[in-house]
Structure formats: C-alpha cells, structure tokens
Structure 1
Amino acid sequence: MNTNKNSLINFQEIKGDLFANALPHESLAHCISKDIRMGAGIALQFVKKYGGVQELKAQRKNVGEVAYLKRDDRYIFYLITKEIVYDCPEKGDFICSLHCLRGLCEQLGVSVICMPRIGTGLDKLPLDFVHASVKEIFKGSDIVIKMYYI
C-alpha cells in the first residue's frame, strides 16, 4: 500500500464474499434509497443479517447523506444515494454520500471500510466512475477501502 498522503488512497479490490471475508472489527458500507426499502440485491442480505430498518428510518437522512448502525465491533453504513428504490442514483448524489461517509468515518474513528461494488449492479453507475470517485474522496485519509466482488 502506498503511504504517501498526497497519492491514491489505500484501496483494494478483492474477489470474495463481503460477509464471509470482512473481519469482525471492519466496518461495512453499501448504497440504499431514502425510502429504506431494501428488498433486493445485497441490500436484502444486509437487512437479513443486521436488521435495524426502524433505526435507520428514525435517523431521517436525506439523499447524499449516510445512515448507520452499530453492531458489535463494527459500523454498518448506508449511503443514501437516491430517493426511491426503483430510481438510479445521480452521480452528484453518489459523490455527496461518499463525502459524508468519509466524514463519519473520521468522526467515529473507523479505519477500514468493506463494501461491495457500490453504485454498480442495480444502480447502474459505471465501475470506473465508482472506483475514481472512491479513490478521489478518500485520498489523503488513513482509511482503508476494501471493495469486494464475486
């Protein structure tokens, strides 16, 4: 990993299962809609594993913000990237959510975030855009990003 603060962040893309491979103390992140209807894709797996739908709704977060849960030794971050579950996120809203995520991680002392290929799949953002956005927004931080794919 590169330790020069002015260069790219500590970013790893890892072939494997996010839930099986992320260590118990590593925080997790993924994208959802403001309506918090997580009925498909990896979001459904997050609901089954961590619950907390009412906790998330009570936080009343808007598009471009991040809701989160604390479960055991980790945080579970929910990037709110669109209004309604059937929408696709705007690139600007996705970027705002990433900025919010970085701020929360710095505030909470999170040093590792494990995530799927956020914004791709059902949300249809280009993977190159997602990679570039994550790298740019977390550049200069000590936060390690591990992006899992199967």
Structure 2
Amino acid sequence: MFGRCNFVAFKKYRILYESVYKKTFGTHTFLTAASATTTKSDQQSLLILPQLKTSHQSPFHTTTVQYLHQNMSSDAKFKLTEVEGDLFSAPKSHSLAHCVGADFAMGAGIAVKFKQIYGQVDKLLAQGVTSGGVAVLQDEDRYIYYLVTKPQSWGSPTYDSLRSSLTAMREHMREKHVKQLAIPRIGCGIDGLEWDKVSNELGNVFGGEELEIVVYNFVPK
C-alpha cells in the first residue's frame, strides 16, 4: 500500500513538472561561457534576460546578459547590456574603450570621433603599445582605453589579439578600480569580427569581475 501511494504521488508531481514547470522554465535560455584558462568549477552561467522598456525612452536595450560566478562564496558579478544610443553620451562615471591599430591613425569608423574628441595621438604613440595591448588616456575621472588589436589601422584584428587587449585592459581596470565601461561593438563593423564571438570573449575575460559594460549600438556621424 505504501509503495502504491508513493507511485501515485510520483506520477502526480511528474505531471505537474511536465505541464507547468518545464513549460515555464523551458522558455529561458541558459548558456555557459567558460574561459579557456579556467577549470570546470570556475565556469560562469550566462542568463539572457527579456527586453526592458521605460515610459520615458525608446527600448532600453536589445539584450542583457549577466555572468554570475557559480562559486557562491564570491560576490563578483559581470553585467553586459546593449543599448541604442550615442556612445559619447554615456555617463561620465563610465570609462570608454574602442579598437585601434598600433599606428593610431584612427582614420575610419568610430575611431575618428575618438581622435576628434580626445586627440593626444603623440601621447598614445609614446606608450609604445603593440598589437594585443592597450593604450590609455585619462579624461578627468574616467579612462579612455585604446585596444590595440592589429599592427596597422588598415589591417584586421583576430580574436586572439582582441582577447589579449581585453585582458590588458582588465588589469588596468582592476588597478584603477574601474567598475563601469561603455563601448561600441568592438572589433565588429569595419574590423569584421562577429559580435556573438566578441561578446563571448567579453564574458570570458570579464566574467569574474564586478563590472558593468554597456554596449552602444549607434555610431554618431
């Protein structure tokens, strides 16, 4: 009798799971973004959240992803958000970053705007940064990061050089306690990298950081 009751209860809860919980939670997408240099226990979970809107503006973002350490003893949290808007309207609390060649020609794409606004090309060149590194300018309380992802501006970056530059930027951000960053879709557009792969690289490099990165999709002309 006891075994039969257990069987009936099992069927009841299985039906409940199949009809309610599985249907409800099956619509959420959970992915895994693991760094090639981390162990299985250090993997980060990637949660894709629904689109948000406010009554005061156009759709706030197209995709929001959060990377949370599975190690529950850590409070580190990385948040990556895409928005429609002008990168240069980002709050002053956010540092900025974009990709360049080691020659710092900055003659095309959003790099032109960086050159117009921040200049100091001689100071950037004097830092002697090669492909895979990062050059930095300071603008009051924010930093302007120049991710050097290729030897010449007319060349093409690789995912390896981008990853190396992001890692170099991460080390500087740790040192300076930078917690907020605004970027375009770095390495994409005229550089030809794929955003899905680039966003994965961002997760791999910054997944263990307490950091918010906002990606601005509109490039001002």
Which range, TM-score by smaller chain?
A: over 0.9
Give the letter for the 2:96 counterpart.
Answer: L
Q: Does 1:41 align with 2:109?
A: yes
Q: Please point out which of 155, 161, 175 is paired with 1:87.
A: 155
Q: Please point out which of 74, 78, 87 is paired with 1:18.
A: 87
| Two-structure CA RMSD over aligned residues (Å) | 1.6
Is the 8 Å Cα contact of residues 66 and 80 (structure 2) preserved in structure 1?
Answer: no
What TM-score results when the alignment is normalised by the length of structure 2?
A: 0.64
Give the letter for the 2:69 counterpart.
Answer: K
Give me the identity figure in percent.
37
Aligned to 1:75: 143
Aligned to 2:69: 5
CA distance in 1, matches of 2:193, 2:87: 20
Structure 1 residue 26: Cα displacement: 1.1
CA distance in 2, matches of 1:89, 1:43: 15
Unaligned runs of 5+ in 2: 1-64, 72-76
Q: Please point out which of 203, 206, 210 is paired with 1:138.
A: 206
Structure 1 residue 3: Cα displacement: 7.8
Give the letter for the 1:148 counterpart.
Answer: Y
Aligned to 2:122: 54
Is the 8 Å Cα contact of residues 6 and 140 (structure 1) preserved in structure 2?
Answer: no
1:46 to 1:6, Cα distance in 2 relative to 1, 3 A: farther
1:2 to 1:81, Cα distance in 2 relative to 1, 3 A: closer
1:63 to 1:6, Cα distance in 2 relative to 1, 3 A: farther
What TM-score results when the alignment is normalised by the length of structure 1?
A: 0.94
